[in-house]
Amino acid sequence: MRMTSEKHTSPMLFVRRLRVRMLRFVRSFVLVSMVAGISYIILLPLFSKLSASLMVEADLYDAAVKWIPRHLTLDNYVKVWGYMRYPRVFLNSLLLALGASLLQVASCALVGYGLGRFAFRGNGLLFALVMLTLIVPPQVLMTPLYLNFRFFDIFGLLPNPINLINTPYPVLLMSMTGTGLKNGLFIYISRQFFKGMATELEEAAYVDGAGLFMTFYRVMLPCAAPALLVTFLFAFVWQWNDYFYSSLFMSTVELMPNALTAIGSRYVSSLELVRASAGTGIRLEITSQFLSILDSGGMILFVAPLLLMYAFMQRYFMESVERTGLVG
Amino acid sequence: METRKLFRMSLGRKREIGGYLFVMPFVVGFVLFFLYPCVQSVVFSLSRLELTQTGFSLSFVGVDNYRYAFLRHPTFVRELTATVLQTLKDVPLILVFSFFAAILLNQKFFGRGLARVIFFLPVILGAGVVLRMERSNYIMSMIAIDPAASETGLGGFLVTFLDGLRLPRFLIEYILFAIASVAKVISASGIQVMIFLAGLQSVPSSLYEAANVEGATGWESFCLITFPLMSPLVITNLVYTVVDSFTGESNTLLDLIRKTIFSGAGYGASAAMAWTYFAIVGVVLAITMAVVSKRVFYQK
C-alpha cells in the first residue's frame, strides 16, 4: 500500500517515468521517419508512373504540375490497352507463368527433398552443381540453348529435329527439370527446409507402411507448404517479369514483357497508318516524352496483376518467409 | 520370387536409390540444359558458327574470338571494366542497406506490417523488364536523385560539410555516389532484406535477455550477439548480390553480349565475351568470399 502511494507522489519517479516515455517516443519517431523515407523512395517510381500515365503530354511540360495532372485522362490507358493487346497477352502470360511456376515448385520440391533428406553418394557434389547453375549467367548458355531448342533432338535421339522456338515448351521443359529461371535458389530453399524437419515424421510414415514417394507426398509435402508458397510466389513473379527467356525463346509469342517493350514501335506504326490514310496534309509528331507516358501506362498495366496478387497473398507470404528458415 | 527379394532390400539401400530417384529431374535437366550447352558454348567460343538449312556448321578458329573481343571490339573492354567496377561499388552499399533495413523492420513500431509489405515490393517491381524500360524513360529520369548535380541547396551543403570534416577525396566521392544511387540500391535489395530479417528473427531471444541481465547495453548486445550470428548470412547475401548484379536485367554488358550475336562478329565472339565475363565474375566472387569467410562466425 505504501509502495503504490509512493509511486504516485514521488516527483523523482514521475520525472524518470516521463524521461523513459519521452525517449520511447523519440525512438519510435526516428524509426518511423526512417521507414517512411525509405518507403517513399520505393514507392516513388510507382506513383510517378501512375500520375504520368494519367496526364496529357502538355501536363508533363507544365511547371505547375508535379503529381496531380491538370487534364486528367484515361486516354493513354485506352491506347496502351490496344497496343499491348492486353486481354490476350494477359491470358498467355498468366498461363505460362502459372504452368512454369507450378512445374518449378514441383521439381524443386522433389530435388530439394532428395538433396535434403537422403544420404547417397554424390549428394554434396550435386548440391554444388545446383549452386553452379545459379552462378553461371544465362547469357553464357544463351546461344547453345537457342540452337538446341531450334533443332531439338535430345542428342540425336529424335529422327527429325523439332523446332521448339516460339512455343512455351523450352520454358516448360526447363521448369520441369529444375533448371529454369533461378531454380537453383528454389532448390536451395526447399533443401534447407526439408533438412530442418524432424526425422520422426518420416519414420512414423515408414512404420505405417508408406513407401518413399507416399511419405514425401502425403507427409512431408504438406508440412513444407510455407516453403512451397514462397517458391511459388518467386517463381511466378520472376516468370512474369522475365524478359530474357521470353525474348529469346518466344519473341513472336504474345507475352507481357514482349508486349510491353513493343508499345513504342506499335504506337509509331499506328501513327504511320494514320498518316498514310490521311495523306500528307496531317502533321504528326512523335516525342519521346509522349512515348514515356505510354510506357508508364504500360508498366502500370504490367505490374497491376502482380500487385493485386501480392496484396492478397502478402500475409501468407510474410508468415512463410519467417517459417521457411531461408536461413538454414 | 526374385522380385519379392528385390523389394525386401534394407531401408538404407532403399533410401539411397530413392534419393537418386528424387534428384533425377535435376540430373536430367542439368545434363540437357546446362552441362551440354556449357560445353557447346566453350566450343562455339573457339569456332566460327554458321547457320545452315538443317542446323549449323562449325569451323575451328582457336582463340580468334577472344582476340576479337579484347583487341578489335570497340567497347567491350571498356564496358567490362565499367561493369565490374560498378558491381564492386554497389555490393557493399546493398549489403549495408539491407542489413540496416532488416534491423529497422525487426523493431516494434506503428505500421510495421505495412512497412514490411512496402519493403518487399522491390522483389516484385525491381526485376526484369520494368527495370529495363525505366532506364530509357523520360519520367524516371526526372525523379532521379543526384546530390552532386545541384551545387546549391542540400547537395552543396553536404559537399562543404564533408570537405570540412577533412575526409579523403575518394570517400567524399563514394558518399555522394551512395546518395545518388539510393533508389537503385533500395530496389536491388528486396531479397537481401528478407534473408537478413528471417535471420534476425531466428536469433533466440534468451541470448538478449541474458545479456540484458548481465548489464549489456543495446549497442553491446548488437555487436556481440546480433552481428556475429548474422555473419553467415552476410556470405549468403554477398553471393546473391554479386550474382544478381552480374546477371541482372539492368546490366549493360549483357546487352552488348546479346547484341554481338546479331552483329557481324556472330555467335563465336558473343560466346567468347560471355566466358570472359563469367571468368571475371568467378574470380571476383572467389576473392570476396575468401576475404569475408575468414571473419564469419559459426555457432556450431
Query: Does A51 reside within a domain?
Result: no
Flag if B14 and A32 touch (Cβ within 8 Å).
Answer: no
Kindly identify which residue of chain B lies nearest to residue A305, measuring between CA atoms: B124
Flag if B26 and A126 touch (Cβ within 8 Å).
Answer: yes
Q: In this structure, are A180 and A33 located in the same domain? A: no
CATH value at residue B229:
1.10.3720
Count of A-B CB contacts under 8 Å? 267
C-alpha distance from A276 to closest chain B C-alpha (Å): 28
Query: Does A88 reside within a domain?
Result: yes
Flag if A241 and B32 touch (Cβ within 8 Å).
Answer: no
CA distance A301 to B225: 45
Is B274 at the interface with chain A, CB within 8 A? yes
Indicate the burial class of B58 (C-beta count within 10 angstroms; 0-12, 13-18, 19 or more).
Answer: middle
Interface test with A, best of B14, B24, B36, B137 (most A CBs within 10 A): B137
DSSP state of A162: B
Query: Does B51 reside within a domain?
Result: no
Interface test with B, best of A55, A140, A233 (most B CBs within 10 A): A140
Which of B11, B142, B261 minimises the CB distance to A143?
B261
Which has the closest alpha carbon to B285: A132, A87, A320? A132
**CB contacts, 8 Å: A38 with chain B:** 101, 104, 119, 186
Kindly identify which residue of chain A lies nearest to residue B124, measuring between CA atoms: A237
Q: In this structure, are A203 and A253 located in the same domain? A: yes
Which has the closest alpha carbon to A236: B254, B260, B124? B124
pLDDT tens track for A193-241: 888 787 888 888 888 888 888 888 888 888 888 888 888 988 998 898 8
CA distances from A193 to A115, A171, A228, A313, B201 (A): 11, 26, 10, 21, 16
Which has the closest alpha carbon to B37: A160, A193, A227, A179? A179
Residue A109, pLDDT > 90, answer yes
Q: What is the CA radius of gyration of chain A?
A: 28
Flag if A42 and B201 touch (Cβ within 8 Å).
Answer: no
C-alpha distance from B113 to closest chain A C-alpha (Å): 9
Number of Cα atoms under 13 Å in the Cβ half of residue A323: 15
Kindly identify which residue of chain B lies nearest to residue A300, measuring between CA atoms: B130
Flag if B111 and A35 touch (Cβ within 8 Å).
Answer: yes
Interface test with A, best of B129, B193, B273 (most A CBs within 10 A): B129
Q: In this structure, are B3 and B119 located in the same domain? A: no
Using 50, 70 and 90 to split pLDDT, how confident is the model at A1? very low
DSSP state of A119: -
Per DSSP, the three-state class of A65 is coil
CA distance A215 to A218: 6
Q: In this structure, are A226 and A265 located in the same domain? A: yes
Residues 6+ apart with CB under 8 A from A315: none
Q: In this structure, are B107 and B36 located in the same domain? A: no
What is the domain range of residue B89? 71-293
Site of grid cell 491538370: A70
Which of B41, B143, B198 minimises the CB distance to A44?
B143
Query: Does A65 reside within a domain?
Result: no
What total of structural domains would you count in chain B? 2
CA distances from B36 to A145, A166, A214, B33 (A): 9, 22, 33, 6
Return the C-alpha cell found at B85: 567496377
Are the C-beta atoms of B242 and B284 separated by less than 8 Å? yes
- Give B 59-98 residues with CB within 8 A of chain A: none
CB atoms within 10 A of CB B5: 8
What is the domain range of residue A25? 2-46
Which of A240, A314, A326 minimises the CB distance to B195?
A326
Query: Does B1 reside within a domain?
Result: yes
Q: In this structure, are B29 and B127 located in the same domain? A: no
Kindly identify which residue of chain A lies nearest to residue B49, measuring between CA atoms: A143
Q: In this structure, are B234 and B174 located in the same domain? A: yes
Q: In this structure, are B31 and B129 located in the same domain? A: no
Q: In this structure, are A15 and A141 located in the same domain? A: no
- The whole-number pLDDT of residue B24 equals 92
Query: Does A107 reside within a domain?
Result: yes
Kindly identify which residue of chain B lies nearest to residue A317, measuring between CA atoms: B117
**CB contacts, 8 Å: A26 with chain B:** none
Flag if B41 and A144 touch (Cβ within 8 Å).
Answer: yes
Residue A102, pLDDT > 90, answer yes
**CB contacts, 8 Å: B256 with chain A:** none
CA distance A34 to B44: 51
Query: Does A59 reside within a domain?
Result: no
Alpha helix segments (H runs only) across chain B:
2-7, 11-30, 36-45, 64-67, 76-106, 112-119, 121-125, 129-134, 138-142, 153-164, 169-180, 182-187, 190-202, 205-213, 218-221, 227-247, 252-262, 266-293
Flag if A45 and B199 touch (Cβ within 8 Å).
Answer: no
C-alpha distance from B93 to closest chain A C-alpha (Å): 15
Is B56 at the interface with chain A, CB within 8 A? yes
Choose one of B29, B45, B61: the last residue of a domain.
B45
Q: In this structure, are A9 and A122 located in the same domain? A: no
Which of B22, B137, B261 minimises the CB distance to A110?
B22
Q: In this structure, are B4 and B134 located in the same domain? A: no
CA distances from B231 to A90, B222, B225 (A): 42, 12, 10
Q: In this structure, are A41 and A80 located in the same domain? A: no
CATH value at residue A85:
1.10.3720.10
Q: What is the CA radius of gyration of chain B?
A: 25
Which has the closest alpha carbon to B75: B252, B271, B215? B252
Are the C-beta atoms of A111 and B26 separated by less than 8 Å? yes
**CB contacts, 8 Å: A322 with chain B:** 198, 201
Residue A202 parent element (H or E): helix A199-207
- The whole-number pLDDT of residue B264 equals 65
Query: Does B277 reside within a domain?
Result: yes
**CB contacts, 8 Å: A80 with chain B:** none
Q: In this structure, are B41 and B79 located in the same domain? A: no
DSSP state of B143: T
Is B217 at the interface with chain A, CB within 8 A? no
Q: In this structure, are B30 and B138 located in the same domain? A: no
**CB contacts, 8 Å: B110 with chain A:** 28, 32
Q: In this structure, are B126 and B174 located in the same domain? A: yes
CA distance B261 to A146: 12
Q: In this structure, are A224 and A125 located in the same domain? A: yes
Residues of chain B with pLDDT under 50: 1-2, 151
Are the C-beta atoms of B272 and B65 separated by less than 8 Å? yes
C-alpha distance from B138 to closest chain A C-alpha (Å): 6
Q: What is the mean pLDDT of residues A318-325?
A: 68
Site of grid cell 521457411: A324
C-alpha distance from B208 to closest chain A C-alpha (Å): 19
Query: Does B298 reside within a domain?
Result: no
What total of structural domains would you count in chain A? 2
- The whole-number pLDDT of residue B46 equals 87
**ipTM of the assembly?**
0.80
Q: In this structure, are B13 and B138 located in the same domain? A: no
Return the C-alpha cell found at A227: 516453403
CA distance B121 to B39: 38
CA distance A134 to B247: 10
Q: In this structure, are B14 and B125 located in the same domain? A: no
C-alpha distance from A257 to closest chain B C-alpha (Å): 6
What end-to-end distance do the CA atoms of chain A give, in Å?
52
Query: Does A145 reside within a domain?
Result: yes
CA distance A140 to A136: 7
Which has the closest alpha carbon to A109: A180, A179, A182, A188? A188
CA distance B293 to B285: 12
Q: In this structure, are B39 and B183 located in the same domain? A: no
**Burial profile A280-305: b = 16 or more Cβ within 10 angstroms, e = fewer:** eeeeeeeeeebbbbbbbbbbbbbbee
pLDDT tens track for A136-167: 878 788 888 888 888 887 777 777 778 888 88
Which of A34, A49, A113 minimises the CB distance to B22?
A113
Flag if B271 and A140 touch (Cβ within 8 Å).
Answer: yes
- The whole-number pLDDT of residue A328 equals 45
CA distance A326 to B101: 17
**CB contacts, 8 Å: A137 with chain B:** 246-247, 254, 274, 277-278, 281
Query: Does B62 reside within a domain?
Result: no
